Amino acid sequence: MPYTAALFDFDGTLTPSLPLWIAAYQFALERHGIAATDEEVLRRCFFRDLSAVAADFGGFTVEEFQPNLDDGLKTAFLRAELFPQARQLVAHCRDHGLKTALVTSSPRYIVIDVLDRLELSALFDFVICGGDVENYKPHPEPVLATLTALRCEAAQAIMIGDSHVDILAGRAAGTRTALFLPHDHHRFHSTERLHASQPDHIFADHTELPELLELPRMRS
């Protein structure tokens, strides 16, 4: 069945921003007198609620930590950029009749600023961010809310992301799923956990995705 909607994750899918998140967490932790390596941040901060992060490190509350993390994100994301073919890929989907949406757990103030600065805002029919829903991915709520906004059936949509939470959220919502897995993502993700999430498709380069979506190839 041809797709009518493509739902994209943001961090690690359209923008190589995972190192920026590491830098933001390190910035915030340093304000609380804690020096953390990249590996510690990945293990103790990524894909965890801030309440769990605060309990793990100790010495601060979520309310104390959140403003420092916000400051770190604002500084780090000034360096945000897109993957080379990301803009072309989203535009290609739209040019061939697909509705496009951004489904991310990142804060809206960060996402909208980056989309505007990198001239990507006009390419999305709908954007849902962290704080717009009660439950974040891997819960299906953000995907289901997006499908409702797009007036699209789950079976006609595909959730595209780089992490297990993207795939699990899409599957729980009833969409097809595509995992972006470039060669260097093993640094940020457990390969075993990614494959265990059972994506319908796996691709390593953005130019591979149109064929999976039954679209013509992108021009080089």
- Domain boundary pick from 79, 94, 109: 79
Q: Lowest-confidence range among 93-97, 161-165, 190-194?
A: 190-194
pLDDT (mean) for 80-102: 97
Does 58 score more than 70 pLDDT? yes
- Domain boundary pick from 28, 57, 79: 79
Does 200 score more than 70 pLDDT? yes
Instruction: Give yes or no: residues 70 and 157 share one domain.
Output: no
pLDDT (mean) for 41-60: 95
**24 falls within a domain:** yes
- Domain boundary pick from 61, 79, 97: 79
**137 falls within a domain:** yes
Instruction: Give yes or no: residues 9 and 93 share one domain.
Output: yes
Q: What is the structure's pLDDT at 129?
A: 97
Q: Which two tokens stand for residue 212?
A: 């999976």
Instruction: Give yes or no: residues 44 and 98 share one domain.
Output: no
**219 falls within a domain:** no
Does 22 score more than 90 pLDDT? yes
**125 falls within a domain:** yes
Number of domains in the chain: 2
Q: What is the CATH number of the domain that holds 197?
A: 3.40.50.1000
Closest CA to 99 of 13, 175, 181: 175
**220 falls within a domain:** no
Which residue type, as a one-letter code, is found at position 170? Answer: G
Task: State the greatest distance between any 2 C-alpha atoms of the chain, in Å, as a whole number.
Answer: 54
**134 falls within a domain:** yes
- Give yes or no for a contact between 41 and 20, defined as CB atoms under 8 angstroms apart: no
Does 1 score more than 70 pLDDT? no
pLDDT (mean) for 63-83: 97
Instruction: Calculate the alpha carbon distances from 107 to 21, 44, 78 in Å.
Output: 12, 20, 14
pLDDT digits over 102-151, tens only? 999 999 999 999 999 999 999 999 999 999 999 999 999 999 999 999 99
Instruction: Give yes or no: residues 131 and 177 share one domain.
Output: yes
Q: What is the structure's pLDDT at 36?
A: 97
Q: What is the structure's pLDDT at 220?
A: 66
**131 falls within a domain:** yes
Instruction: Give yes or no: residues 142 and 191 share one domain.
Output: yes
Range of the domain at 106: 5-16+82-212
Instruction: Calculate the alpha carbon distances from 182 to 39, 65, 68, 189 in Å.
Output: 19, 32, 31, 11
**Confidence tier at 186 by pLDDT (50, 70, 90):** confident
